[in-house]
Amino acid sequence: MSPLKKKKARKAVKFKVVTIKVTARQKKSLVNYCKSRHTTPNKLIKKAIRPYLENYSDLVVVVNKQEKLNQLQLF
């Protein structure tokens, strides 16, 4: 008899909540579109923004800040 192999436990995925506001008409349109395509609003939105969610996670953002000079320079 061979020993039983244990499956490795998967690392838990952490999720974050993102909230957007849409008008009542936009919500109705979204729900109707999803019903016609047999999908959910969440899946539709995630599919639409997938390139932005996946391609920029390792991007280093450089912010240029200008020094503010609060004193009057006479000379």
Sequence-distant (≥ 6) Cβ neighbours of residue 37 within 8 angstroms: 44
Count structural domains, the chain.
Answer: 1
For residue 6, name the pLDDT band (cuts at 50, 70, 90): confident
Going by pLDDT thresholds of 50, 70 and 90, the confidence category of residue 68 is low
* 39: in domain: yes
Return d(Cα 65, Cα 75) in angstroms, integer. Answer: 25
Is 42 contained in some domain?
yes
Q: What is the pLDDT of residues 11-56, one digit of tens each?
A: 999 999 999 999 999 999 999 999 999 999 999 999 999 998 888 8
Residue ranges making up the domain that contains 32: 24-52
Q: From CA 58, how far away is CA 47, in angstroms rounded?
A: 20
Maximum separation of any 2 CA atoms in the chain, in Å: 91
Asked, for residue 72, whether it belongs to a domain, the answer is no
Using the predicted structure, report yes or no on whether residue 1 has a pLDDT greater than 60: no
CA-wise closest residue to 29 among 39, 41, 38, 46? 41
Contact 28, 41 (CB under 8 A): no
